[in-house]
Amino acid sequence: MKISSVKIISLLFFVLSAFYLYTAYQIQVFSFDENAPFNAKTFPIYLGFVGMFLSGLKIILPEKIKEEVDHTVLDYKKVIFLVIIMIFYGLTILRAGFFLSTSFFLLFAYYFLGERRWKLMLIFSFPFVALFVFLLHGILDIYLRDPFLKLLGIIG
């Protein structure tokens, strides 16, 4: 009996989602935020459950079409580079803050995935992250520790 690569990848994604769900429950929230309908751990918990559910469905349900992957056309250099900049992003987010680290992560990811239009790359990195920070901090009232925005006086 041959196990398809889709089932193996789905099993790996299931394990990764389960680990993500476990770590999501370890997120500490402020005491005034514990009973809020939306806090720092709400979205990660839902994301972990959805990942486990979808990958579990992919494992259990039979495959209708046999999917074969041609490994000669896959670009492993881009994948390795994205993993490297994700690790760098994780290491810099506490020091540089959410706004700068996320904006530069998106900028580098766009560039190394093949985008060369700088105007488009800048629009979809810095303003997009600024809008997201406004949504989190201004509308949803979720505190983000961001030394750069604190230095500018945007976040108190």
Question: Which domain, by its residues, includes 4?
Answer: 1-67
| Same domain, residue pair 85 and 155 | yes
Total structural domains within the chain: 2
Alpha-carbon distance of 30 to 18, in angstroms, equals 24
**Is 146 in a helix, a strand, or coil?**
coil
Please check whether residues 88 and 58 belong to one and the same domain. no
Per-residue pLDDT of the chain (156 residues; tens, 9 = 90+): 577 778 888 999 999 999 999 998 888 877 766 777 777 788 889 999 999 999 999 999 888 777 676 777 888 888 899 999 999 999 998 888 889 999 999 999 999 988 899 999 999 999 999 898 888 888 877 777 788 888 887 776
First-to-final CA distance of the chain: 60
Q: Single out the residue of 42, 147, 39 nearest to residue 92, CA to CA.
A: 147
Give the gyration radius of the chain's Cα atoms. Answer: 19
Q: Are residues 57 and 79 in the same domain?
A: no
Task: Name the strand (E) or helix (H) holding 89.
Answer: helix 76-96
Two structure tokens written together for 56: 């579990």
Residues 90 and 116 in one domain: yes
